[in-house]
Amino acid sequence: MTERKTGIYLCGGCGIGEAIDVAALEGVAKKEFKLDSKTHACLCGDDGVAMIRADLEAGINQVAIAACSSRVMTDRFGFEPIQVLRADLREKVIWSHPANHEDTQALAEDSVRMVLTMATKVKAPEPYVEGEWSSRILVMGGGVTGLAAAAQAAALGHEVLLLERSDRLGGRALDSSKRLPHRPPYAQPAANDIGDLVASVTGNAKITARLGCTVTQTSGMPGRFVVNLSDGSVETVGAIVVATGWRPYDASKLGHLGYGASPDVVTGVELEGMLKAGKVTRKSNGAPVKSVAFVQCAGSRDPDHLPYCSSICCATSLKQALELIEAEPATNAYVVYEEMRTPGVMEELYRTAQAAGVIFMKGKVKTVGADLTVTVADELIGEDIPLAGLDMVVLATGMVPNSTNTDAPSPAEGAEQLAGDIDPEVPFPVAGYCGDAPAAHAKRPQAAPEGGSLLNLQYRQGPHLPVLHDGFADSHYICFPYETRRTGIYTAGPVRRPMDWAEAAEDASGAVLKAVQAVRSASAGAALHPRVGDLSFPKINLNQCTKCKRCTVECPFGAIDEDEQTYPIVNATRCRRCGTCMGACPVRTISFDNYSVDMLSSMIKAVKVPDEFSGKPRILIMACENDAIPALDMAGIKRNQWSAHVRILPVRCLGSVSLLCISDALSVGYDGVMMMGCKPGDDYQCHFVKGSAMAAERLSKVGETLKSMMLEPERVTQAEASIADADRLPKVIDAFVEQITAIGFNPFKGF
Amino acid sequence: MNAPSPTPTKKYDLSFARWVYDNIDGGDRMALCMQCGTCSGSCPIGTQMDHGPRKLFMMIRAGMKEAVLTSNTLWNCVSCYNCVVRCPRKVPVAYILHDLATVAVREGYAEARNSDNARFAKAFWWSAAKYGRTDERLVTGKYYFSFGIGEGYKRGMANLPIAMGMIKTKRMHLGMPHKCSNTGELHKILAKAAEIEARDHGKQG
Ligand code: SF4
Ligand code: SF4
Ligand code: SF4
Ligand code: SF4
């Protein structure tokens, strides 16, 4: 390896030069690190950047910059492929602390010490690019979502393999009458145009569709998944879009709503079929349907059935009532609802239905008699109202995701993997709240959904695509849609959350863009969400590995398998570079080219910890780069102030923090340690899904160790941070500093 | 007139709502009522009503015909139009109440309820239609005696001092009732209006 030559640049602009003594920082580099540095009055200006470029020409091969936050000016300070290390003197130093104060100066000097220490511990990452890569995309499911996904992927130039388990393309849309409105003015049911979508796919040379075909086994990793199909063939694909859709909730479980008591109590799906056939009659006697009641939330939003809102049944009932009235204007149509939920612009359809004379009643259905009398506990009148003399009762049953293969038996092993393994085992309190803290996170019990695995993944962590408590394939609803916990495999449509036709088609585009990114990044050795473009990947020194399996178990993405001798093997393109494996490894033998336990520990130790006679505590905050660091930057931008006694060390994810970092900090005299990261649990905000939960779990075991060292367990805590916490986090920090000050100095100080 | 409202053979008549939507002045807009309660909240007389417009409309949907047509909401509305102005769904609440009151009279619900307001409204209309003016003595007299001779006399005597005071300050006159200049024309106009009404809407009692 060539000798490391780091160019060090300090910026005096943006008020840094006025608020701290930058020359003293140069002194730190010179005296403590024997390194020359250059200060510029405006480093990000053309002149400053030209200065760095000139040094790069002259042979420096690493750049360390102490200026603004690493999250800004990345274009100005981007010198690919040279690695750039940043220390923040602006947002988290001068903007958040008083100018020309000795504590602020000490903070700035420590920031320089940390980045210069980092510079000695990292090297530019060498990406994993071995072997052949496929850019073909596998789409599972030939319904609206799958068809739209196939068409989109083909439009982006990718070969597509489209699998459909039944013998026809089009899915449930084929059995529907009209579809929900999907373009302005959104006021009327729209024509069913599934035929056009099917035709656009079957006529596309880039798409190979196989009917009656399912996946029997999947191995490999993004860029080269090897997929065995039920027709006996074996295919290699780069990424997978799971668009397996939904099925209606089993109405036979809805006896309390009259299902089964009379043939004239039907489900919304059954009525849809009658509308499609153009003949809606009473099943019992073939008589016309002159009055009908729709029972909303039939099984949905009911803790005994589906705990969630299925999102489409309200609009669907509106559409069906309108279709009935269109066919026979005198039809008396009642819709009994608890809340009318018309997401998006579907409100317009609601208005149309009202204007057409559909009668709405708000309340809960108490009983549905065999004579079709629907008794409603009406909330707006405050009485039980019997709707009698109806010809038909329609139960608006909800959506169940096809996150498993219901045709196949549950796997003998690994099914438990499906059941919310996202919760930390032990409930733990949420630290870092000023005022009322939310309830402690507790594990929510959940049964594994029925059925076999869709993909039958040959992963160490089991065959399934992980699901959340409600059985939907795990993909964060808001922050990270489509992402599953298996890199390169994306979910789209109702398999990830309830949605209608138009939304599903849009969802397909999102998932396809992810899949395209996955195949392109795989061949470049670059990471995907959330560390997009990161070229580092975990390397395991097997000589030291004790085969403890922590890494293979804790990796949130199932990236690490085991070889015949049960040694861990990293599947590089499955990895999202969170470092949870690194934080888990008890012998610290997992590291990245530019990120390691040694690097973190050295940076922690590089800080000058004042002795107890100074009266100044020193507190370490290991803050997640995804939300906590941006929130702290934002706090700085808002000029929110916090204690200058803390030292902030950005980490990839709390999951990457080894307990060793904490014990190192305490042994060199830090008085307290705070881990600041995203919300763990089944409603996680952790960008690596389980990283902060893993950190919490590890932390729950630290208390005993601290006690055995005669240290107060309160010296170490975990705080939740979200991207919007710019005003809260400074208070959280100050409260912790106060708490630590009250406990007193770390007795290990100075040893 | 003529399409009579469905007979309340039961307390909940599921065809009533559609009948109101189709036959009552403003009923088509009532179909759009989203039960926000702005009308009832805005009504200065709300506390004097047994239900208030919002709830009354929901009762219509539930088919509670009898309860609706005997409700005092229909009669206590003072036509201030607060609700009409404020309704976010542009439901002409007051019109609907008035038209429902008409139905209540026509189908005997008002009588059955023995509503004061209904009697007064009848006396008022009698005078207006006959003379083109409302004559205080005749309207009050007709209203009082609608309760029967004895009751009418009692009420008349009880209010005599007020009447005397009004006469003294020229607020009420003695002698022949005031009329508009051409009552014959008026009667023709009203007859024509009734005819048009019957032809165009098939309602109005
Ligand atoms: S969409 Fe409507 S019917 Fe369906 S679960 Fe949600 S609220 Fe209930
Ligand atoms: S734990 Fe994170 S860094 Fe380690 S292998 Fe898994 S995804 Fe990669
Ligand atoms: S204000 Fe209008 S929409 Fe609201 S409850 Fe009254 S009538 Fe209905
Ligand atoms: S018009 Fe009648 S119902 Fe409406 S606010 Fe006035 S009094 Fe109340």
For B151-165, the DSSP string reads HHHHHHHHHHHHHHH
Query: Looking at ligand 3, which atom is closest to the CA of residue B86?
Result: 1
Short-list A512, A522, A525, CA closest to A223: A522
The 8 Å CB, 24+ separation contacts for A470-475 are: A470/A306, A470/A307, A470/A308, A470/A401, A471/A400, A471/A401, A471/A403, A472/A401, A472/A403, A472/A496, A472/A497, A473/A242, A473/A401, A473/A403, A474/A422, A474/A689
Q: Which of B15, B35, B55 has the CB atom closest to A332's CB atom?
A: B15
Q: Is the CB of B100 under 6 A from ligand 4?
A: no
A243 CB-near residues (< 8 Å, 6+ apart): A139, A140, A141, A143, A145, A146, A149, A491, A492, A493, A495, A504, A508, A511
Query: Which residue ranges in chain A fall short of pLDDT 70?
Result: 1, 414-447, 750-751
Distance (Å, whole) CA B21 – CA B44: 26
Structure tokens at A177: 């009458």
Chain-chain contact of A355 with B28 (C-beta, under 8 angstroms): yes
The pLDDT value recorded for residue A708 is 84
Is A11 strand, coil or helix? strand
Q: How far is B147 from chain A (nearest CA, A)?
A: 34
CATH topology identical between A1-124 and A137-245+402-410+448-524: no
Q: Which residues of A fall within a CB distance of 8 Å from B33? A: 354
3-state secondary structure of B34: coil
Using a CB-CB distance cutoff of 8 angstroms, which residues of chain B are in contact with residue A330?
Answer: 18
Task: List all residues of chain A from 239 to 258 with a beta carbon under 8 Å from chain B.
Answer: none
Q: Could you tell me if the CB of A339 is within 6 A of ligand 1?
A: yes
User: Other C-beta atoms within 10 Å of A541: how many?
Assistant: 12
Q: How many CA atoms lie within 13 A of A463 on its CB side?
A: 22
Reading the block at residue A98, the tokens are 């008083």
Long-range contacts of A341-347 (CB under 8 A, 24+ apart): A341/A309, A341/A311, A341/A314, A342/A314, A342/A315, A342/A318, A343/A311, A343/A315, A344/A186, A344/A503, A345/A181, A345/A184, A345/A186, A346/A180, A346/A181, A346/A186, A346/A314, A346/A315, A346/A318
- Look over chain B and give the mean of its residue pLDDT values, rounded to a whole number: 88
Could you tell me if A332 and A290 are in contact, meaning their C-beta atoms sit under 8 angstroms apart?
Answer: yes
Note whether B32 contacts A351, CB cutoff 8 Å.
Answer: yes
CB distance A378–B21 less than 8 Å?
A: no
| Fold of domain A1-124 | Rossmann fold (3.40.50)
Residue A404: CA count within 13 A, CB half-sphere: 25
CATH code of the domain occupying A137-245+402-410+448-524 = 3.50.50.60
Q: Chain A residue closest to B68 (CA)?
A: A381
Tokens of A334: 């009642």
Q: Do A388 and B14 touch (CB under 8 A)?
A: yes
User: Which whole number is the average pLDDT over B17-45?
Assistant: 95
Bridge partners, A28 (sequence order): none
| Residue A341 burial (CB count, 10 A) | 19
Selected residue of B13, B36, B38, B61 to mutate for chain A interface (largest A Cβ count, 10 A): B61
Quick check: CB of A268 below 6 Å from ligand 1?
A: no
- In the numeric block, the tokens 């869709």 are attached to A454
CATH 1.20.1740 at B15-113, yes or no: no
Cβ(A555) – ligand 2 distance below 6 Å: yes
Q: What are phi and psi of A225, to 5 degrees?
A: -80, 140
Nearest atom in ligand 2 to A538's CA:
3
The DSSP symbol for A486 reads S
**Which residue is closest in CA terms to ligand 1's atom 4?**
A313
Please work out, in degrees rounded to the nearest 5, the angle formed at the alpha carbon of residue A389 by the alpha carbons of A388 and A390.
Answer: 95
Whether the ω angle into residue A81 lies within 30 degrees of 0, i.e. cis, is: yes
Cα dihedral A680, A685, A689, A691 sign: negative
Which residues share a beta bridge with A405? A452
> Distance between CA A423 and CA A449 in Å, rounded?
17
Find the length of chain B: 205
Indicate if ligand 2 lies below 6 Å from the C-beta of A399: no
Q: Which ligand is nearest to the CA of A249?
A: 1
| C-beta atoms of B35 and A362 within 8 A | yes
Tokens 């579907």 belong to which residue?
A: A346
Q: What is the H or E stretch that residue A27 is in?
A: helix A22-33
DSSP-assigned beta bridge partners for residue A540: A590
Q: A559 in ligand 2 pocket by Cβ < 6 Å?
A: yes
Choose among A354, A361, A389: nearest Cβ to B31: A354
d(CA A256, CA A374): 11
**A207 strand-pairing partners:** A160
The CB-side HSE value for B204 (13 A sphere, CA atoms) comes to 14
Question: How many angstroms from the chain centroid is the CA of residue A605?
Answer: 33
d(Cα A164, Cα A459) in Å, to the nearest integer?
24
Residue of A659, A535, A538 lying closest to A591 (CA atoms): A538
Q: How far apart are CA B127 and CA B153, in angstroms?
A: 20
User: What are residue A429's phi and psi, to 5 degrees?
Assistant: -75, 155
Domain A251-401 matching CATH 3.50.50.60: the answer reads: yes
CB A13 within 8 A of CB A39: no
Task: Scan residues 263-292 of A and list those with Cβ closer than 8 Å to B.
Answer: 291
Distance A181 CA to ligand 4 centre (A): 37
> Is residue A280 within 8 Å of residue A327, measured between CB atoms?
yes
- Name the residue at shortest CA distance from atom 6 of ligand 3: B39
Mention every residue, 6+ apart, whose C-beta is less than 8 A from residue A677. A623, A624, A626, A627, A628, A653, A654, A686, A691, A692, A695, A718, A719, A720, A721
Bridge partners of A298, per DSSP, are: A397
Nearest-CA distance B51 → chain A (Å): 9
The predicted pLDDT at position A428 comes to 52
* Domain residue ranges of chain A, discontinuous segments joined by +: 1-124, 137-245+402-410+448-524, 251-401
Is it the case that residue B3 has pLDDT exceeding 80? no
E strand map for A274-329: 291-298
What is the distance in angstroms between the Cα of B40 and the nearest Cα belonging to chain A?
13
Any CB–CB contact under 8 A between A393 and chain B? no
Sign of CA dihedral B135, B139, B142, B144: negative
Name the residue at shortest CA distance from atom 4 of ligand 2.
A581
Mean pLDDT of B154-171: 90
How many CA atoms within 13 Å lie on the side-chain side of A25?
Answer: 35
Asked if A387 and B59 come within 8 Å (Cβ–Cβ), the reply is no
The pair of three-digit structure tokens given for residue A76, joined into one six-digit string: 């100005």
A67 phi/psi in degrees, rounded to 5: -150, -110
d(CA A270, CA A275): 9
Burial class (CB in 10 A: 0-12, 13-18, 19+), B199: exposed
- Within an 8 Å CB–CB cutoff, is residue B62 touching chain A? yes
